[in-house]
Amino acid sequence: MTNRKFGEKGFFFTVDAFLSLTFVTAVVLLALFHMSNVQLDSWNSIDLRTATNDALVVMEKSGSLDDAFKLNNAGDEIITASALPILDDLNRTSQSYCFEFIIFDSGDISEPVFHVMKPDCSKESYEFASVERPLVVVKGDLVKNYVVRLGGWRK
């Protein structure tokens, strides 16, 4: 009878492979179990906040905020000229999102100076995201500070 060492080493390699395969399977199953418990609402709120922030950035970069202001006849007060530039940007957003655009005077944020809501939207949502930015309007020698707020929600 000959003594073979291949058979003995094969047993240890088989046990080692079995243990590592069992460990990897357990890790994959635990990861899948954890991923199945993740709530989609938390991801939806992140997406909503990102979409609201992106819409406001687009309004800033496209010049819609600048186009919405002009001086009154006396030249001492800035008044809103038209909501059309803002509405154009809001209408370009996804149909699944609703937005409300409000501008406040930085000295008094209790009364809005300007208010526009995306058409075909109503404020009926349990989830709401809001983004605010300062806005400085310079017309000649006049400098006015405003606070821009864009609120967003899903239809």
Do 59 and 79 sit in the same domain of this protein? yes
Do 22 and 45 sit in the same domain of this protein? no
Its domain, for residue 100, covers: 40-154
Write down the residue that tokens 């395969």 correspond to: 21
Do 91 and 102 sit in the same domain of this protein? yes
Do 7 and 23 sit in the same domain of this protein? yes
Do 69 and 132 sit in the same domain of this protein? yes
- CA distance linking residue 146 with residue 102, whole number of Å: 10
Do 143 and 85 sit in the same domain of this protein? yes
Model confidence pTM above 0.85: no
Asked if residue 143 lies in contact with residue 136, where contact means CB atoms within 8 angstroms, the answer is yes
Q: What's residue 45's pLDDT?
A: 82
Q: What's residue 27's pLDDT?
A: 95
Write out the chain's pLDDT in tens, 155 residues: 555 555 555 555 677 788 889 999 999 999 998 888 766 666 778 888 999 999 999 888 888 877 776 644 455 555 555 678 888 888 888 898 999 998 888 777 778 888 889 988 888 888 889 999 888 877 777 777 888 899 999 88
Q: What's residue 59's pLDDT?
A: 87
Do 68 and 121 sit in the same domain of this protein? yes
Do 68 and 142 sit in the same domain of this protein? yes
Q: What's residue 71's pLDDT?
A: 47
Domains contained in the chain, number: 2
Phi-psi sector, 140: left (phi>0), alpha (psi -120 to 50), beta = left
- CA distance linking residue 55 with residue 151, whole number of Å: 10
Do 24 and 49 sit in the same domain of this protein? no
Do 24 and 80 sit in the same domain of this protein? no
* 71: DSSP letter: E
The rounded radius of gyration (Å) of the Cα atoms in the chain is 29
Do 53 and 87 sit in the same domain of this protein? yes
Q: What's residue 67's pLDDT?
A: 73
Do 54 and 17 sit in the same domain of this protein? no
